[in-house]
């Protein structure tokens, strides 16, 4: 069943909501509770109302995410409909909330003559996801422009931390005192970025970034974006292709013939198909090249119990 438990304006709480409706791979079992806040205050009130111990998972556009077929226990918080404000703070500073698509941030910076920010258009996700993994594209990386971030605790407390509180690497961010993107039980709400004022984007640069994505990536088919991180001094796509894996399938999941670091859902794939193909690609590349690829995609949720249909 997918039934509304509460509805006030854009606020919605759904039960047993299929995550296949909210991920770019179009796979994933049900979330016990799927919550879309209408604003930051609404989100904070909701978090404060939850019973202690209730698991919470934040999602943005559902890219870079594989939800297993058994779904997600507890509450999924979807930021993409509420935390979508971008503000010009002056002095080259921009505040963007976690649900802002990175393409929107890039375009808005262009309108304000702040930059360089065109490369954000190459990230197929939200600011929250980009913060979590230090996403990058076309020579830029998210945390190179971060001044400070707001996080929210599981109990609804907002905490502001400077860039120096985090250890940042390639597609990796470690929060204070641990190896998680933020301390356990905290989630990104917003960030303040520093850009150059009076920046003149090269004519057509934004269009070039978007056209390059379209030319190289299978954008018309369900995928999560890049599946694996590039290893030092090499490219995951090259390693996968030269291992003879383009077109390799598990069920309806397929290594893209257009870009080998993409796995596409050709129609009717399950999360188990995709996860099995990820494992096969890793094993084959390790055997062929002696390189163990590290997944860039985040895998969450529960597998389907044995003997239970997805």
Per-residue exposure over 133-161, b if at least 16 CB sit within 10 Å of its own CB, e if not: bbbbbbebbbbebbebbbbbbbeeeeeeb
- d(CA 13, CA 118) in angstroms, rounded, equals 35
Kindly name the residue from 226, 250, 254, 256 that is annotated as catalytic: 226
Calculate Rg over the CA atoms of the chain.
19
- Residues linked to residue 72 through DSSP beta bridges, in sequence order: 31
* 38 alpha-carbon distance from chain centroid: 20
Which tokens hold the place of 139?
């020579």
Distances from the Cα of 137 to the Cα of 93, 111, 202, 225, angstroms:
21, 20, 17, 12
Which tokens hold the place of 168?
């940042």
Kindly name the residue from 17, 95, 141, 296 that is annotated as catalytic: 296
Catalytic residue check, 226: yes
Kindly name the residue from 171, 205, 250, 282 that is annotated as catalytic: 171
- d(CA 254, CA 266) in angstroms, rounded, equals 7
Strands 93-97 and 253-255 come out as: unpaired
For the purposes of burial, counting CB atoms within 10 Å of the CB of 252, is it exposed (0-12), middle (13-18) or buried (19 or more)?
A: middle
Distances from the Cα of 75 to the Cα of 14, 61, 80, 214, 284, angstroms:
10, 16, 15, 34, 36
Distances from the Cα of 143 to the Cα of 131, 135, 233, angstroms:
7, 8, 21
Distances from the Cα of 5 to the Cα of 45, 51, 56, 102, angstroms:
16, 16, 17, 31
Which residues carry out catalysis?
Answer: 171, 226, 296
């Amino acid at each position: 069943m997918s039934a509304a438990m509460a509805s006030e304006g854009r606020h919605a709480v759904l039960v047993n909501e299929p995550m296949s409706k909210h991920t770019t791979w179009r796979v994933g079992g049900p979330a016990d509770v799927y919550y879309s806040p209408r604003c930051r205050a609404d989100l904070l009130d909701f978090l404060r109302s939850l019973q202690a111990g209730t698991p919470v998972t934040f999602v943005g556009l559902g890219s870079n995410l594989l939800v297993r077929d058994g779904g997600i226990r507890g509450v999924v918080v979807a930021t993409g409909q509420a935390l979508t404000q971008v503000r010009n703070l002056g002095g080259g500073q921009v505040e963007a909330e976690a649900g802002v698509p990175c393409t929107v941030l890039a375009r808005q910076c262009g309108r304000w003559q702040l930059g360089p920010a065109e490369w954000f258009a190459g990230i197929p996700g939200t600011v929250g996801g980009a913060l979590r993994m230090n996403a990058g594209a076309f020579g830029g990386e998210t945390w190179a422009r971060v001044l400070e971030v707001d996080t929210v605790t599981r109990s609804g407390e907002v905490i502001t931390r400077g860039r120096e509180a985090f250890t940042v690497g390639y597609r990796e961010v470690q929060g204070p005192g641990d190896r998680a993107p933020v301390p356990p039980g905290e989630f990104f709400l917003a960030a303040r970025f520093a850009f150059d004022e009076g920046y003149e984007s090269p004519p057509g640069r934004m269009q070039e970034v978007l056209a390059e994505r379209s030319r190289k990536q299978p954008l018309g088919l369900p995928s999560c974006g890049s599946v694996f991180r590039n290893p030092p001094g090499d490219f995951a796509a090259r390693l996968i292709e030269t291992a003879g894996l383009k077109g390799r399938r598990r069920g309806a999941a397929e290594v893209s013939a257009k870009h080998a670091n993409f796995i596409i859902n050709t129609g009717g794939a399950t999360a188990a198909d995709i996860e099995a193909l990820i494992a096969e690609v890793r094993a084959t590349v390790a055997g062929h090249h002696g390189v163990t690829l590290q997944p860039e995609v985040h895998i969450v949720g529960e597998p389907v119990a044995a003997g239970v249909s997805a």
